[in-house]
Structure 1
Amino acid sequence: MQKNPNVKILVSYHKPSVLFKDEVLTPIHLGRALSKEAHKDGKVSDEEYEWLCENMIGDDTGENISHLNRYFNEMTGIYWAWKNYDKLGNPEYIGLCHYRRHFIFDEYVSNFIHRKFVNYYPIIENISKHYQSIIQIRDFNCQDYDLIIPKKFKTTNNSCHSVYEYFAYNGQNTQALNAIQDKICSNKGLQEYAHLAKNLAQKQSFYPCNMFIMKKELFFEYCEFVFAILLPLYEEMKESLSSANIWQKRELGFTSEQLTSLFIERQLQKDRKYKEFEVSFVENPNNAKFQDMLYQDTLKKIMTRHKVISFDLFDTLLVRPYAKPIDVFKHLEESFGQKDFASLRSRAEFKAMKTLNKKQVNFDEIYSQMPNRFHFLQAREKELELQTLYINPLIKNLCEMARSLGKKVIFVSDMYHSKEFITEILTKNGICDFDKLYVSADIGKTKHHKDLYQYILKELDLKPEEMLHIGDNKFSDFENAKELGITAFYLPKPMESFLQDYPKLKQLYEFHSNNLTISIILGLCLKKWLYCDKDIVEYWSYLGYFYGGVICYGLSKFVFKEALKENLKEMIFIARDGYVIEKIFNLLQEHLATEKIQTHYVQASRSLCNEVFGLDLMENTSNRKAINLILSFKEEIEDFKVITYYDLFLAAKNKS
């Protein structure tokens, strides 16, 4: 901002989303006057409405047309800014963007975003810290320009040969579009736009989204032009618009993009100084950090209306370091070399229920259905659970919030472990301040069958509406509780939220959903993410933990296995690439080796290594042994689907 004069960019919202708010970005709630009515994405709840009111200005104060938002889209926010400019502090420049569409001011980055929405908008997966940095205006000097605009959108991007076809493709009526030329020609003050409006419907490009940053005087000129056409058009069309469906009611809003485009084209004809930027499209505008904040704000209000706050345990308060719970059994199978344990253990619980004719069985009853050779793993399973289960910080905060409001806090779980064992897990993790713990294995009733809820209501002498239950299972924690009149709140599993925020890791998991190593790596990444408040700010920390560590582990494990196979007594790791590999190698030795292999770290340049080992792969291919060695550990690292040294060597081999 040191380079720039006073700039305000309105960020338009119609529902809660990640909040962009600083001295430049100014969130505005569009259509606040209609907040209780359905919009294109459904209805806004009371809690969501309160959040919008608390965190941004509304377009319904002073002189406004907020009540026309279902017809005018973001233009109600532009109208409000025009008529209430002093409330923005009379900025020298004014702009508009959207909650999921922003100018990408970092042109270096935008050149590397190749995935496009409708072959135009660079697609951003979610709102990360990195994304927030590339849409900051601070490194761009507004004073050099009269207006900042989006790059032109070509209708042919959508296989449409004209604006008219583009409207039809999007299911929009064209009455307003067809009327623009007549409106301009009949208004003496707008004659300078007449030649631009001619054959408007047949044009093949326009400036989209009503996005811009303009000098104050240009903004006022723009508003006088646009609303001199839009408002009379609305008066003529309001009867037909009122009976249109939710999508087609927005005809004037879509038509306003063409008016904005005409205004921009006219300014460029006047040799205004301008700059074009890419406009982003955010696939998921609600990242997990924002969602948590919204959960906490919402639940705080809901908690005040209830006597007892109930929490589910597993995958809600307690988290396992695996991609899915069944991988606990896989981990035991691999650690103790017990083939078929995982599949038999996962089936044993249901087998015990059927054999004993019970809704819920306990830990001993499950293992009674297992072959004798696996019985020693019963104690090992409890040890592993006790060692690895940890607390979800979000739920811990909610428990503390409930306590601070003077509410009773209870935990309710459909679980085969005993109450005593779960209490031990909670105590180990510092969770001691609660009133009751209800475990289905001890009581013989379950949330799944609803009778555990009924048992709790009776024991605590509660009316259903006096209890709030929070959990991750849509059926047993949410739907069943609601059927009994209990207030229920669904919270997604931590792993679901994590993979939603990191689509590349989600792809990795989906591609290797049965791979225990991948499951544990994702589980560890999840724990890191949760304990960084779901916001790993420092880029290199994120890259190193989520990707670099994974690659180095794969390579180190390969080297370790080869060393054992060759019965080596010593290993030399060469600087600098070998530094981390040696560290991991020795960690593996601590856990897995019966006899220690002595390791050495030697400083040597890469060019020296190339001379010694003849690894100049770009020039000659005589050293097939080296290439074959690299290819041999392909299986160890190919799971990770990121660029590795293997990829680089393979590329070198192919080129040579």
Structure 2
Amino acid sequence: MARAEELPNKGITIGIAMHKPAPIPHGRTYLPIHVGAAIHPDVLTEIQQDNTGDNISELNPYYCELTALYWLWKNNDSDYKGLVHYRRLFATRSFFKGRGRHGDRLDRVIDDAELAQMLDKHSVIMPTKRYYVIETIHSHYVHTMYAEQVEVAETVLEHMAPQYMPEWKRLMKRRSSRFFNMMIMDREHFDAYCAWLFPILTEIARRLPPDQYEAFHARYPGRISEMLLNVWINHNNIKFGELPTVYTESINWWKKGTSFLKAKFLKKRYTGSF
């Protein structure tokens, strides 16, 4: 693990997956990455494109932010690498920072100095857990998405990495997990995780082609990877620090809550993001 004072020389890159213009946080650690640049090359021409070097940019409609993760894996040699989203980022642990009446939500984003302190203690950082309470990870997925997606993922995992199945089974029964494909890792862990993840996703997508679904549900490989990150972390007994997250746009909590209940009790799948 890096000492805080060593961080500027060691190097850290946190990719911000972006597909449209949005405010970005200050800090030399952040690298905005245009995901899906191979499909929409004219949208964000002033930032790093995910279709340079070794890339899977054309898979963005299915892999979502993972095309930025792959780009960082193959094309960035920072000693610490991470992934966040243009609307959801790691937040400071300070309760008061950015909470004033006129505070900007971007002011809640963790800055370079605080992040350096975290990396002084932890080589891996994950978001805090989110809780479903009345749903398990498995039941929530089959109520809101298509059951065959998680079923095929389980079959592939059992075939390609059977030693991870106990953790997968435990995760499916839990009512909480870490979501969003957000993480910060030293290069050793980051590269090891990507080398494990992407072959599994490739096989899942081969067996269950995403393009058979409409656009929202075609993104299922990106959602499955959120589960697989937890499985990989837990199976390998990775010690990590936790950070809260901040969502920089307004959330329609009524729509989000009622959709959650309709999915559970009325079997109405989600049709879009909130």
RMSD over equivalenced CA pairs, Å: 2.7
Residue equivalent to 1:76: 67
User: How much does 1:3 deviate?
Assistant: 5.7
Residue equivalent to 1:282: 248
Residue equivalent to 1:102: 89
User: How much does 1:127 deviate?
Assistant: 7.8
- For CA contacts below 8 A with separation 6 or more, give which structure has more relative contact order: 2
Tell me the secondary structure at the aligned position of residue 254 of structure 1: helix
| Counterpart among 186, 203, 226 of residue 257 in structure 1 | 226
Question: Which amino acid in 2 is paired with 1:72?
Answer: Y
Does structure 1 conserve the Cα–Cα contact (< 8 Å) formed by 2:91 and 2:109?
Answer: yes
Tell me the secondary structure at the aligned position of residue 243 of structure 2: strand
Tell me the secondary structure at the aligned position of residue 198 of structure 1: helix
Residue equivalent to 1:161: 135
Matched, 1:53 2:22: no
Cα gap change, 1:227 to 1:19, in 2 (>3 Å): same
Does structure 1 conserve the Cα–Cα contact (< 8 Å) formed by 2:25 and 2:109?
Answer: no
Q: Distance in 2 between matches of 1:22 and 1:72?
A: 27
Tell me the secondary structure at the aligned position of residue 32 of structure 2: strand
Residue equivalent to 2:146: 173
The TM-score, its normalising length taken from structure 1, stands at: 0.35
Q: Which has the higher helix share?
A: 1
Does structure 1 conserve the Cα–Cα contact (< 8 Å) formed by 2:25 and 2:106?
Answer: no
Q: Distance in 1 between matches of 2:102 and 2:60?
A: 27
Unaligned runs of 5+ in 1: 37-45, 114-123, 286-656
| Counterpart among 214, 227, 231 of residue 202 in structure 2 | 231
Deviation per residue, 1:438-477 (Å, 9 max, x gap): xxxxxxxxxxxxxxxxxxxxxxxxxxxxxxxxxxxxxxxx
User: How much does 1:209 deviate?
Assistant: 0.4
Residue equivalent to 2:32: 27
Q: Distance in 1 between matches of 2:131 and 2:146?
A: 20
Deviation per residue, 1:117-169 (Å, 9 max, x gap): xxxxxxx99982x733642131242132120111112222xxx4211232245
Matched, 1:194 2:165: yes
Q: Distance in 2 between matches of 1:126 and 1:75?
A: 34
Higher-Rg structure is 1
Matched, 1:217 2:213: no
Cα gap change, 1:154 to 1:133, in 2 (>3 Å): closer
Q: Distance in 2 between matches of 1:284 and 1:161?
A: 25
User: How much does 1:21 deviate?
Assistant: 5.6
The TM-score, its normalising length taken from structure 2, stands at: 0.80
Deviation per residue, 1:24-68 (Å, 9 max, x gap): 0000001111117xxxxxxxxx5xx1xx111x1111111211111
Q: Distance in 2 between matches of 1:22 and 1:11?
A: 12
Does structure 1 conserve the Cα–Cα contact (< 8 Å) formed by 2:167 and 2:231?
Answer: yes
Q: Distance in 2 between matches of 1:256 and 1:265?
A: 14
Q: Structure 2 matches for 1:154-553, cutoff 5 A?
A: 154-156=131-133, 160-169=134-143, 171-187=144-160, 190-198=161-169, 200-238=171-209, 241-267=210-236, 269=237, 272-283=238-249
Deviation per residue, 1:324-383 (Å, 9 max, x gap): xxxxxxxxxxxxxxxxxxxxxxxxxxxxxxxxxxxxxxxxxxxxxxxxxxxxxxxxxxxx
Deviation per residue, 1:603-630 (Å, 9 max, x gap): xxxxxxxxxxxxxxxxxxxxxxxxxxxx
| Counterpart among 127, 144, 158 of residue 150 in structure 1 | 127
Matched, 1:138 2:138: no
Q: Distance in 2 between matches of 1:127 and 1:226?
A: 38
Unaligned runs of 5+ in 2: 252-274
Does structure 1 conserve the Cα–Cα contact (< 8 Å) formed by 2:27 and 2:112?
Answer: no
| Counterpart among 6, 18, 25 of residue 23 in structure 2 | 18
Question: Which amino acid in 1 is paired with 2:107?
Answer: Q
Q: Distance in 1 between matches of 2:122 and 2:248?
A: 27
Does structure 1 conserve the Cα–Cα contact (< 8 Å) formed by 2:14 and 2:83?
Answer: yes
Say how many residue pairs are matched: 244
Does structure 1 conserve the Cα–Cα contact (< 8 Å) formed by 2:108 and 2:246?
Answer: no
Cα gap change, 1:200 to 1:131, in 2 (>3 Å): closer
Does structure 2 conserve the Cα–Cα contact (< 8 Å) formed by 1:174 and 1:251?
Answer: no
Identity of aligned residues (%): 26
Q: Distance in 2 between matches of 1:18 and 1:145?
A: 28
Deviation per residue, 1:161-185 (Å, 9 max, x gap): 211232245x321323222333222
